[in-house]
Amino acid sequence: MTGPTVWSEFGRLSQEHDVANLGQGFPDWLPPDFAVESLVEATIDSTKSPHQYTRTAGHPNLVRQLARRYSKHLGQTIDPMNEVTVTVGASQALYLSLQTLVKPGDEVILFEPFFDLYVNQIKLAGGTPVYVPLTFVPYSEESGEEGEEDGVVTGGTWILEPEKLASKISSKTRAIILNSPHNPTGKVFTHSEMEVIAQNVMNAGPQCVVISDEVYKYIVHSPPKDEAGMTSSCSGHVHFASLPNMWDRTITVSSAGKTFSATGWQVGWCIGPSHLISPIHQLLPYVQFCASTVIQEALARSLPRADEPYEGHDSYYEYLNDKYRRKRDLLGKALKEAGFAIPDYDKTPGGGFFIFARITPELRKALPRERLELPFAKNSAAPGGQARLDWALCQWMAEEKGVLCIPSSPFFSREQAENGASDEFIRVAFCKTDETIERAALALMDLSGEEKAGVDEEEDNERVEVAVAVAAMGDAVINGSG
């Protein structure tokens, strides 16, 4: 669990090279005005005294706001003092949940690919990660075409196959980590897939709990169509704990960072029944006495204001989804022109702010062959110390083409990565200003330039038209470059 990581390696590349950074998932713009105003108000409000320690399990004003909101989300009354915990970001919420649940010998189910943080947090708790691969179904297979065999690579949909989950469930299964919307794929788990998970929780036995990581729940830019079980309080998202019999078996984890474009605020939380939350309350003082009182107070003031009309939309949350939908399309057009295959969001539901782009044969040819050979192929930060296709392409793009994306291999188990499951994908963030995306679009158009040296004038003009269209889409994004 020590040594360089994908984040340290690509962080280094972003510092050493002049790149359009589409790597790490944080917005590069200010939070909404009302959130900044709430922070200023909280900072100078002497009557509330928000500059000292507050209640360890959560600032009273904030836990009351969270309980009010989740009572609506989950359809039952949440006790703010016994069923809510405030943490230093969602990462600590996950850490505390695992520490209080898992003992040596316990198994924790992960859907693969997965956010890489999960694996080592499970190991720190003494548990064993058990991987359930999601299945990528190309659109060509969905339609019964033979395009993949003909070398035409398409986008597709990631699905959960029930039998793959059932085969990994046992009496040792202590927890299942569910992340929807999903990092890195952008998948939104369907209601029927969640019902499959719920049934497997029951089959595993009374010891099995779901940790539902819902940090992207307000960013469902392509909601499932005609999907049962959706809550009007959070459009397009199903709270797993709202499923029948799952409240008592679920710790819901979330945070403010992604929703309010304020990842540095570092306020997260756990919501769940008291028998799961009480152990977290007991452990919390030995890990962190309290999250920042000022930030908690600022968030408590921001939450009700987010429900109000904002920038011509019925709420800030509607504005947020519209903003990300436009940025997704802005970047998606550039990725397709560069030769990547991406999801068709008219067919595939999507959430979060990443595109899991598929590497096509065209891009394989554009990558210099030596990038897959020594010394480039040896990289201690890569899984197994080997830079495979996804890693080599991303490193080449950063060093030579001026755009930084994240390889997919760190989001897979080492066995799957070494078997090539991650070779075809890279993760690209669109939580960036229009200027950053437009700059990346120009860099992406140059990826296969050497291979297209002989394109005719008509095709070259088409590429110019795409660049102009990308820039024009950027101009149309809500709130300008925000």
Give 332's pLDDT tier (boundaries 50, 70, 90). very high
Three-state SS sequence of 152-218: CCCCEEEECCHHHHHCCCCCCEEEEEEECCCCCCCCCCCHHHHHHHHHHHHHHCCCCEEEEECCCCC
Q: What does the mean pLDDT of the chain come to?
A: 90
**Residues 6+ away with beta carbon under 8 Å from 69:** 233, 303
State the pLDDT at residue 226: 63
Render pLDDT for 367-377 as a digit per residue (tens, 0 to 9): 999 999 988 88
Give the separation between CA 68 and CA 21, rounded to whole angstroms.
38
pLDDT value at 149 more than 70: no
Give the pair of three-digit tokens for residue 176: 């299942």
As a whole number, mean pLDDT of residues 26-47 equals: 93
φ, ψ dihedrals at 135, nearest 5°: -105, 125
Select from 5, 22, 1 the least CA-distant residue to 441.
22
Helices and strands per DSSP (H, E), number in the chain: 16, 14
Give 454's pLDDT tier (boundaries 50, 70, 90). very low
Q: Which amino acid is at 101?
A: L
Give 457's pLDDT tier (boundaries 50, 70, 90). very low
Burial of 382 (0-12, 13-18, 19+ CB in 10 A): buried
As a whole number, mean pLDDT of residues 264-284 equals: 97
Give 1's pLDDT tier (boundaries 50, 70, 90). low
pLDDT value at 57 more than 50: yes
State the pLDDT at residue 478: 39
Give 475's pLDDT tier (boundaries 50, 70, 90). very low
State the pLDDT at residue 148: 57
As a whole number, mean pLDDT of residues 415-433 equals: 95
As a whole number, mean pLDDT of residues 304-323 equals: 96
Contact 322/313 with Cβ under 8 angstroms? yes
pLDDT value at 292 more than 60: yes
The Cα-based distances of 206 to 109, 132, 243, 403, 430 in angstroms read 16, 21, 17, 48, 40
Give 447's pLDDT tier (boundaries 50, 70, 90). confident
pLDDT value at 480 more than 80: no
**Pick the residue with more confidence: 321 or 229?**
321
Pairing of strands 173-179, 156-159: unpaired
- Kindly report whether the global pTM for this prediction surpasses the value 0.85: yes
Give the separation between CA 79 and CA 475, rounded to whole angstroms.
46
